[in-house]
């Protein structure tokens, strides 16, 4: 009789441990999914720290533009087959296209950032 109650207690203990392990495994799976969902993490980060993202993008733009200015000052580093006048026309045309597409790009980015419903 004592052995049967001992076996029942052991089975109950094992059953509780199994339930606990299943629960822990489920929690770990959910945490892993969240950790690997990069688009959602980016949106969350942008919502929590908009000033930091704006500052970082501004700094990146300044670094890139400073690098381009430095390259323009050293013509020996730039080896292209196109004449300088044509290159400036292409850059001007690209600037106009970007200016025209800017609202579309902003709208698309906002749709990507907004929470999914």
Domain boundaries, the chain: 1-36, 83-117
Angle at 53 between CA 57 and CA 41, to 5 degrees: 125
Distance between CA atoms of residues 52 and 58, nearest Å: 10
Distance between CA atoms of residues 115 and 36, nearest Å: 17
Query: By the 8 A CB rule, do 72 and 79 touch?
Result: no
Q: Is the whole-model pTM more than 0.75?
A: no
DSSP 115: P
Q: pLDDT tens digits for 27-85?
A: 999 989 888 888 888 888 889 998 998 999 998 888 888 877 766 665 555 555 555 56
Query: By the 8 A CB rule, do 111 and 117 touch?
Result: no
């Amino acid at each position: 009789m004592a052995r049967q109650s001992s076996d029942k207690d052991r089975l109950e203990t094992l059953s509780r441990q199994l339930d606990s392990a299943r629960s822990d495994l489920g929690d770990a799976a959910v945490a892993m999914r969240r950790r690997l969902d990069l688009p959602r993490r980016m949106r969350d980060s942008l919502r929590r720290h908009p000033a930091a993202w704006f500052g970082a993008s501004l700094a990146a733009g300044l670094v890139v533009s400073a690098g381009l200015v430095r390259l323009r000052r050293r013509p020996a580093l730039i080896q292209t087959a196109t004449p300088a006048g044509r290159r400036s026309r292409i850059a001007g045309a690209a600037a106009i296209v970007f200016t025209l597409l800017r609202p579309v790009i902003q709208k698309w980015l906002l749709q990507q950032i907004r929470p999914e419903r």
